[in-house]
């Protein structure tokens, strides 16, 4: 958990190396996405701890704290990072509002914007698998068992219905590949 939090912090501050305490305090105060991500990481940690023989001694008093923080964050910022989602280190929520991430797997160093919906299709068990370094722009919907490969860039308002190969720029509803070998490093 702590390595993921460290990677998330470095990603949000956009630096590598030493971080001053004031930077972390500013991040905790001003970044709604980072606050919700910390709550998500705390919930995942509680889920892992409860599997140990005496983990319930930690989980019983801390779970109500997690639940209350999660509900408050969902109501205040309209960001729902469900515990069924597997989010790797370096995740960055650029803007809050209307974000729903559930039952999917997200690789490292991914960025999402507001009004992004990720999850399984109606009645399906599995959701999308998002690769490393994927940029997902505002109002994107991925409600299918699809795979978005590493380095893909998904434009605003796109509805993903099929697998997306590496380093592609994808736009439209339904989605279509606009450019191959697209470099999204300036967005990450």
**Three-class SS state of 146:** coil
Residue 54 lies in a domain: yes
- Asked if 81 contacts 107 with a C-beta cutoff of 8 angstroms, the reply is no
Residue 187 lies in a domain: no
Q: How confident is the model at residue 123 (pLDDT cuts 50, 70, 90)?
A: confident
Question: What percent of the chain is modeled with pLDDT above 70?
Answer: 98
Q: Give me the active site residues, please.
A: 95
Q: How confident is the model at residue 18 (pLDDT cuts 50, 70, 90)?
A: low
pTM of the model: 0.91
Res 71: pLDDT: 96
Helices (H), the chain: 2-13, 21-30, 32-49, 56-77
Residue 47 lies in a domain: yes
Q: Chain-wide mean pLDDT for the chain?
A: 92
Q: What is the number of structural domains in the chain?
A: 1
Give the angle 50-51-52 at the CA atoms, nearest 5°. Answer: 90
pLDDT digits (tens, 9 = 90+) for 150-187: 999 999 999 998 999 999 999 999 899 999 999 998 88
Residue 49 lies in a domain: yes
**Three-class SS state of 21:** helix
Q: Which domain does 62 fall in, by range?
A: 2-179
| Assigned token pair, 74 | 């969902």
Rounded alpha-carbon distances, angstroms, from residue 66 to 14, 42, 46, 188: 27, 7, 9, 29
**CATH number, residue 9:** 2.160.10.10
Residue 185 lies in a domain: no
Res 121: pLDDT: 87
Give the angle 81-108-114 at the CA atoms, nearest 5°. Answer: 45
* Least confident segment among 18-32, 34-48, 128-142: 18-32
| Assigned token pair, 16 | 């590598």
pLDDT digits (tens, 9 = 90+) for 75-108: 999 999 999 999 999 999 998 899 999 999 999 9
Residue 121 lies in a domain: yes
Res 10: pLDDT: 87
């Amino acid at each position: 958990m702590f390595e993921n939090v460290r990677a998330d912090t470095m990603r949000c501050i956009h630096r590598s190396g030493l971080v001053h305490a004031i930077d972390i305090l500013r991040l905790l105060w001003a970044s709604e996405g980072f606050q919700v991500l910390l709550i998500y990481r705390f919930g995942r940690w509680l889920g892992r701890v409860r599997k140990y023989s005496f983990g319930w001694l930690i989980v019983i008093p801390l779970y109500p704290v997690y639940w209350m923080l999660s509900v408050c964050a969902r109501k205040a910022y309209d960001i729902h990072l469900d515990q069924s989602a597997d989010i790797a280190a370096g995740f960055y929520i650029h803007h809050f509002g209307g974000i729903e991430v559930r039952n999917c797997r997200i690789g490292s160093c991914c960025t999402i914007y507001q009004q992004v919906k990720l999850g399984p299709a109606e009645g399906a068990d599995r959701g999308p698998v998002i690769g490393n370094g994927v940029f997902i722009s505002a109002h994107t919907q991925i409600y299918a068992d699809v795979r978005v490969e590493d380095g893909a860039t998904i434009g605003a308002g796109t509805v993903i219905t099929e697998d997306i190969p590496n380093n592609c720029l994808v736009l439209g509803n339904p989605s279509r590949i606009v450019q191959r070998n697209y470099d999204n490093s300036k967005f990450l």
